[in-house]
């Protein structure tokens, strides 16, 4: 790819030090190459966003809403090409790639609606003290850097880009070097819609590019989704500038199954929570807490369901689970299989890489995993489930909350009053009851503890890119 970076309304060639090789994970073979952006090009992108900011933030909310609807429409027009690219570069099965595309479309449509509903620039604030008036303004926070991961490209960028543009911010977007191609669509759409130059900039690169963006003194805010290790580096860089950040980081989430559940339904929810996107989700429910009364019936059916799952190349087969997205992730998951053997864990099924082309592993379950196990406590980011039993509701809550993460959880019970009670007691940002992980743009996304700072989606996603200003005037 000759010109992979979109800076100040133009496509330009990379001038950085890294050559990025894009792979098809189902084959383990490269199919594209591009040169990374240089530090100077990151400077150019930030400068372009800074120049574009005054005019863009002065644009009427209705005009911004129309452009956001244009993004949604243009994504729909590119539907088949983007779905195929998700399948090829991420290894997603078709039904997952379709949901990703629909999610991105819905996100732009939702924030277009919110942009139209933005209040006027001034809202009166009643004061108890006489002799003064006060008003509130909601203003765009400014130039924002967006760094997005490889597991849900297009989607995570939509979650950040749409509310940022709706609020009146200008943007520098850095996609993951593992999946840099699909976000090119946003630059193409910006061109098609005549989005003013500099409002959206896209720079591709590896760690050097990400570090240059996250430490740039020309940003007013940074939003990052990715691992805790990189997130802590991003936070340190932001701290040097006293810059606000939104961080959506890791998880080690629990799915709690009570003994009044329908076994087959519970198995469906468990399988979806650990095999969607081959388990490469910060929200993967990778810790199964199953009540004593149902465990002996559930675990054999779970084993059978995973062993019957079709794993393969989504471009040539009707599969339920594709490969891991990168060789690095494949090697990481394989290392946890080795750790499990060293720890003497009981493997119910799986626990191995698959002997075929591409970066495939078997869906895996370890049972009776001790609470001190590395597999119980560390985020693996693969289709690896660890199971423990519990006797009482209090034990389930205590075990689920015993984690340095707090992103999501799932509760499965026919007793809805109990399910709601447990949901309220869990120390996480999002809980599903008797459901797969359905994520709606109207609800918030984000976690507690080590799972991050701030919220995305819903009105909270928009407010993350707004600054509050109060003006108080003396009447005397």
The H-or-E segment that residue 79 falls in is helix 79-85
Predicted pLDDT of residue 81: 97
Predicted pLDDT of residue 36: 97
pLDDT at residue 271 tops 90: yes
For residue range 340-387, list pLDDT tens digits in order: 999 999 999 999 999 999 999 999 999 999 999 999 999 999 999 999
The H-or-E segment that residue 32 falls in is strand 29-35
Confidence of residue 405 (pLDDT cuts 50, 70, 90): very high
- For residue 334, which phi and psi values (nearest 5 degrees)? -60, -35
Upper half-sphere CA count for residue 257 (Cβ side, 13 Å): 30
Tell me the mean pLDDT in the region 62-83. 97
Structural domain 5-249+451-474, CATH architecture: 3-Layer(aba) Sandwich (3.40)
Predicted pLDDT of residue 312: 96
pLDDT at residue 403 tops 90: yes
Predicted pLDDT of residue 420: 98
CA distance 294 to 269: 15
Confidence of residue 2 (pLDDT cuts 50, 70, 90): confident
What CATH number is given for 254-440 in this structure? 3.40.309.10
Task: Please give the structure tokens belonging to residue 465.
Answer: 């890119």
What are the residue ranges of CATH 3.40.605.10 in the chain?
5-249+451-474
pLDDT at residue 175 tops 80: yes
pLDDT at residue 123 tops 90: no
Predicted pLDDT of residue 119: 72
Predicted pLDDT of residue 190: 98
The dihedral built from the CA positions of residue 106, 158, 452 and 278, taken in this order, carries a sign that is positive
Q: How far is CA 429 from CA 211, 234, 238, in A?
A: 28, 22, 23
Predicted pLDDT of residue 97: 97
Predicted pLDDT of residue 130: 92
**Catalytic amino acids?**
248, 282
Burial class (CB in 10 A: 0-12, 13-18, 19+), 120: exposed
Tell me the mean pLDDT in the region 133-139. 92
Helices (H), 149-262: 155-167, 184-192, 207-214, 228-241
pLDDT at residue 120 tops 90: no
CA distance 420 to 399: 17
What are the residue ranges of CATH 3.40.309.10 in the chain?
254-440
Confidence of residue 45 (pLDDT cuts 50, 70, 90): very high
pLDDT at residue 122 tops 80: no
Q: Report helix, strand or coil for 111.
A: helix
Task: Enumerate residues 6+ apart whose C-beta is below 8 A from 363.
Answer: 271, 274, 275, 279, 306, 309, 311, 321, 349, 350, 383, 385
pLDDT at residue 209 tops 80: yes
Tell me the mean pLDDT in the region 142-151. 98
For residue range 424-462, list pLDDT tens digits in order: 999 999 999 999 999 999 999 999 999 999 999 999 999
Predicted pLDDT of residue 224: 97
Q: How far is CA 355 from CA 205, 312, 314, in A?
A: 32, 12, 17
Predicted pLDDT of residue 309: 97
Predicted pLDDT of residue 244: 95
């Amino acid at each position: 790819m000759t010109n992979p970076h979109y800076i100040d309304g133009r496509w330009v060639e990379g001038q950085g030090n890294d050559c990025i090789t894009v792979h098809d994970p189902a084959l383990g073979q490269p199919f594209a190459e591009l040169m990374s952006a240089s530090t100077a090009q990151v400077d150019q992108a930030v400068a372009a966003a800074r120049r574009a900011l005054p005019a863009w933030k002065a644009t009427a909310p209705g005009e911004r809403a129309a452009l956001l609807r244009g993004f949604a429409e243009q994504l729909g027009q590119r539907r088949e090409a983007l779905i195929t690219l998700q399948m090829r570069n991420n290894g997603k099965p078709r039904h997952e790639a379709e949901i990703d595309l629909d999610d991105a479309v819905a996100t732009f449509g939702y924030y277009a609606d919110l942009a139209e509903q933005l209040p006027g620039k001034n809202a009166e604030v009643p004061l108890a003290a006489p002799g003064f008036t006060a008003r509130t303004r909601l203003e765009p926070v400014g130039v924002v850097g967006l760094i997005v991961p490889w597991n849900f490209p297009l989607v995570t960028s939509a979650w950040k880009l749409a509310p940022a543009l709706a609020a009146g911010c200008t943007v520098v977007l850095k996609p993951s070097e593992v999946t840099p191609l699909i976000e090119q669509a946003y630059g193409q759409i910006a061109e098609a819609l005549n989005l003013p130059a500099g409002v959206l900039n896209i720079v591709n690169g590896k760690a050097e590019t990400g570090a240059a963006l996250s430490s740039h003194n020309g940003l007013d805010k940074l939003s990052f989704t990715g691992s805790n290790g990189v997130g802590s580096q991003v936070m340190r860089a932001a701290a040097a500038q006293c810059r606000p950040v939104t961080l959506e980081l890791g998880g080690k989430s629990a799915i709690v199954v009570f003994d009044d559940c329908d076994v087959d339904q519970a198995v469906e929810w468990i399988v979806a929570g650990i095999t969607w996107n081959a388990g490469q989700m910060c929200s993967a429910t990778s810790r199964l807490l199953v009540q004593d009364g149902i465990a002996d019936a559930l675990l054999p059916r779970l084993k059978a369901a995973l062993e019957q799952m079709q794993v393969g190349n989504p471009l040539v087969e009707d599969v339920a689970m594709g490969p891991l997205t990168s060789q690095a992730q494949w090697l990481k998951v394989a290392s946890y299989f080795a750790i499990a053997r060293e720890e003497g864990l009981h493997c119910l099924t799986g626990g191995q890489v698959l002997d075929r082309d591409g970066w495939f592993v078997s869906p895996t379950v370890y049972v009776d995993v001790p609470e001190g196990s590395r597999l119980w406590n560390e985020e693996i980011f693969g289709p690896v489930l660890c199971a423990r039993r519990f006797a009482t509701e209090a034990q389930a809550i205590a075990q689920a909350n015993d984690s340095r993460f707090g992103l999501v959880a799932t509760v499965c019970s026919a007793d809805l009053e109990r399910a709601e009670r447990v949901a309220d007691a869990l120390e996480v940002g999002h809980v599903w009851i008797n459901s797969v992980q359905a994520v709606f743009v109207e609800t918030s996304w984000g976690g507690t503890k080590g799972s991050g700072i701030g919220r995305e989606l819903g009105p909270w996603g928009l407010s993350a890119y707004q600054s509050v200003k109060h003006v108080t005037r003396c009447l005397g």
